[in-house]
Each structure stands twice: as structure tokens, then as C-alpha cells.
A and B are shown apart, each in its own frame.
Chain A
Amino acid sequence: AQSVTQPDIHITVSEGASLELRCNYSYGATPYLFWYVQSPGQGLQLLLKYFSGDTLVQGIKGFEAEFKRSQSSFNLRKPSVHWSDAAEYFCAVGVTGGGNKLTFGTGTQLKVEL
């Protein structure tokens, strides 16, 4: 079965600094990969997704992620963080023939210092 690991539970960055959130997956074939963001007490919003093609994916709010097959990773990046980016971020993986069921990581809580 597929799995997702987000090794960082909490990350704190200063406003204006760059950000990288790590995500590693386990799956035998090419997965479908997603990053979602959740504000406190709210649902999840899709930031970006990778299905195939270009391994560098652009998303909303200035985020991007790079799929690296050799490292089984799909790290999320942003060159300059804004205070409004403080939230919890979830990486998720879907598999071929799995319908749209996703397996989620445990999340990374981002704090932004002003």
C-alpha cells in the first residue's frame, strides 16, 4: 500500500524567508501527488498537483513543488513567505486505479514570524 511521510511536524520561518516543506512517498509506480493547505478549523484547499509531465509544478499563492522520482519526494517550496501562509500543510498521494482516494501525510504546521 502507498504511504506518505512528512518528517517535519512544525516549521518556523521569518516572513520574507524561503520555505521548503518535505514530503516522501512510498509507492511502486508513478503516483499522483498533491499538496493541500488547511487554516485552523477549516477544510483543505488544493495548492498544486502532479500527475505526469514536467516535474516542477506551479500552484496557487506562489507555491511550487518538484517531483523527484529517484528520491521518492515531492517537496513544496516558496521563495518568500508571507504571514498569511501560516497554516498546516498536507502532502497526499493517489494511485492508478485507486479512484480518487488519497493517502495523506500527518501534516506540517507552519509558523511565520514577523
Chain B
Amino acid sequence: DGGITQSPKYLFRKEGQNVTLSCEQNLNHDAMYWYRQDPGQGLRLIYYSQIVNDFQKGDIAEGYSVSREKKESFPLTVTSAQKNPTAFYLCASSIRGGTNTGELFFGEGSRLTVL
């Protein structure tokens, strides 16, 4: 079945450590996204990529980094510079388009807890 796979589902990190969240999709979608979800704040866009080897900052990119070396993969690194990294992270993908004609397909999320 086609879909988006995020791993790990749960992750614990000590302060000062970098951690990388994996996101893989087999939907043949061009565009991929990372959102952060906090209680009562909805989803906020961290980074997005419309095509391989290209990505843009979203609304809350500080303390995060991404890469897009392959169409199916869009890993997110939460660096030690992120002051409040404990959150639920959601990866999504969509068919690329010049106008917004597509929906987002979401993975099941990764919950990061900083100890």
C-alpha cells in the first residue's frame, strides 16, 4: 500500500543532542513537508520541499534542518539550537503543482521528548 512512513514513533533525547526523524513516502509525490504540532496550537510548518535537492523554510524553521537527496525521503534534524523541541512531528506529502490543487497526505507522526 502506498503511504508515508515516519520513524521512530517515539524518541527521547537528552538536552544538547541532535536527533533525526525519518520520513519516507512511496506515493511518487514531488512535494514533502514537516509540521510541528503542540497542544492548542494546531500545526505549524517547519520546512517544505517541492522538488529534489530544493527546500524552503516554513514559519518555524529555527533550530531545524532538512535534506532532500531523494524524491521519496525528507529527513528532519532537530538540532540542539531548538529551544523547545518536545512536540509531535508530522511529515506530509503532496502532488506538486503551481497552484494549490492537491491535498496533503500525512504520516502517523513522531513524538519527540527531551529529557
Chain A residues closer than 8 Å to B2, beta-carbon distance: none
Contact with B along A78-114 (1 / 0, CB 8 A): 0000000000001000111111111011110000000
When C-beta atoms are compared, the residue in chain A nearest to B107 turns out to be A43
Q: Which of A12-20, A44-52, A63-71 contacts B (4 or more CB under 8 A)?
A: A44-52
Contact of B64 with A by CB under 8 A: no
Q: Decide if A46 touches B50 in the complex (CB within 8 Å).
A: no
**Which single member of A41, A46, A107 contacts B42 (CB below 8 Å)?**
A107
Band of interface residues on A: 20 to 34
**Which single member of A96, A97, A100, A106 contacts B104 (CB below 8 Å)?**
A100
| Whole-angstrom distance between the Cβ of B84 and the nearest chain A Cβ | 18
Q: Decide if A43 touches B58 in the complex (CB within 8 Å).
A: no
From known contacts A42-B109, A43-B90, A44-B106, infer whether A101 and B45 are also in contact, taking CB-CB under 8 Å.
Answer: yes
Band of interface residues on B: 20 to 34
**Which single member of B33, B95, B109 contacts A41 (CB below 8 Å)?**
B109
| Whole-angstrom distance between the Cβ of A109 and the nearest chain B Cβ | 10
| Whole-angstrom distance between the Cβ of B49 and the nearest chain A Cβ | 10
Contact of A34 with B by CB under 8 A: yes
Chain B residues closer than 8 Å to A99, beta-carbon distance: 31, 48, 50, 96-97, 100
| Whole-angstrom distance between the Cβ of A75 and the nearest chain B Cβ | 17
Chain B residues closer than 8 Å to A4, beta-carbon distance: 42
Q: Which residues in chain B, 49-82, are within 8 Å of chain A measured between CB atoms?
A: 50, 58
Chain B residues closer than 8 Å to A41, beta-carbon distance: 108-109, 111
Q: List 18 A-B contacts (CB under 8 A).
A: A42-B108, A42-B109, A43-B4, A43-B90, A44-B104, A45-B106, A51-B101, A97-B98, A97-B100, A99-B96, A100-B31, A100-B33, A100-B94, A100-B97, A101-B48, A101-B58, A102-B45, A104-B43
